[in-house]
Amino acid sequence: MNIVGIIIAIAIVGCTGCLMGFFLCFSSEKFAVEVDERETAILEVLPGNNCGGCGYAGCSGLASAIVKGEAPVNGCPVGGAAVGAKVGEIMGVAAEEGVRKVAYVKCSGTCEKASKNYEYTGIEDCRALMYVPGGGPKACSYGCLGYGSCVKACPFDAIHVVDGIAQVDKDACKACGKCIEACPKNLIEFIPYEAKVAVSCSSKSMGKDVMKVCSVGCIGCHLCEKQCEFDAIHVENNVAHIDQEKCTGCGACAAKCPKKIIMSV
């Protein structure tokens, strides 16, 4: 083997490496994107879950939006008021006191209370069930399917399927909204953490049809509506809805409900 050839090859590779290193160093300086120091500071106080509950693609996206004035300083639902206050200090503004929200599943149709059209033995995923006959085995087309798409989506282990129905641990819930996105039946909504009562049904069917498929479904009887002194509950599309801003938590509507689907939370 020619030693001169080896030396030349080594020299060429070495020179090429040096040139590439110089070019990369020059490029990093020349085309560097300046990052606002506040953005870095905000990113350090954010939880780092990158759950997307704020509406941005991870914590870095939110930090950038806050600095640009496109998102509020308390825009992180996971961090809550404590993180909002720290971000407010960095931005030099006061963080508004927000109402803590938690997810709530609007269905009470457990295995015992809701009837089935057939037994299902396929993939255990609610979204997959939307492609089988009837949108799933449950006779109520609006009810919780109970196969845990929401459970798999939750990054905080705050929701579990119990007796065929998804249930939320309100203390563990961070209101990231992942379960809401995952539910193909649109059964999950945010309610205030301090809410006293909520309607545990989403069926829009007529009362007589509801009773055929579920023993605890809302029949749209309007008794709750007539009982409320604060105009906080109304029947819309055959199902009761509570305006949590008006609700005082007196429980009069729950006491009058013949199906007991207005529940303490």
Report the CATH number that the domain containing residue 127 is assigned in CATH. 3.30.70.20
In the DSSP assignment, the letter for residue 247 is -
Instruction: Give the model's pLDDT for residue 199.
Output: 97
- β-pairing, 197-199 vs 188-192, is unpaired
Identify the domain containing residue 142 by its residue range. Answer: 101-264
pTM of the model: 0.77
Total tally of structural domains belonging to the chain:
2
> Which helix or strand (DSSP H or E) is residue 29 part of?
helix 3-30
Residues 121, 45 share a domain: no
Residues 83, 125 share a domain: no
Q: Which residues contact 30 (CB under 8 A, 6 or more apart)?
A: none
Alpha-carbon radius of gyration of the chain? 27
Residues 247, 160 share a domain: yes
Residues 132, 85 share a domain: no
CATH number at residue 54: 1.10.15.40
Residues 78, 107 share a domain: no
Domain contains 61: yes
| pLDDT tens readout for residues 193-243 | 999 999 999 999 999 999 999 999 999 999 999 999 999 999 999 999 999
Nearest by Cα to 46 from 68, 67, 27, 69: 67
pLDDT tens over the chain, length 265 residues: 567 667 777 777 777 777 777 767 666 665 555 667 888 899 898 988 888 888 888 898 898 888 888 888 888 888 888 888 898 899 888 777 678 899 999 999 999 999 999 999 888 899 999 888 888 999 999 999 999 999 999 999 999 999 999 999 999 998 889 999 999 999 999 999 999 999 999 999 999 999 999 999 999 999 999 999 999 999 999 999 999 999 999 999 999 999 999 999 9
The answer to whether 124 and 147 have CB atoms below 8 angstroms apart is yes
What dihedral angle (degrees, nearest 10) is formed by the CA atoms of 129, 134, 139, 143? Answer: 50
Residues 207, 173 share a domain: yes
Domain contains 234: yes
Q: Which of 26, 58, 91 is the last residue of a domain?
A: 91
CA–CA separation, 259 and 128 (whole Å): 31
Domain contains 207: yes
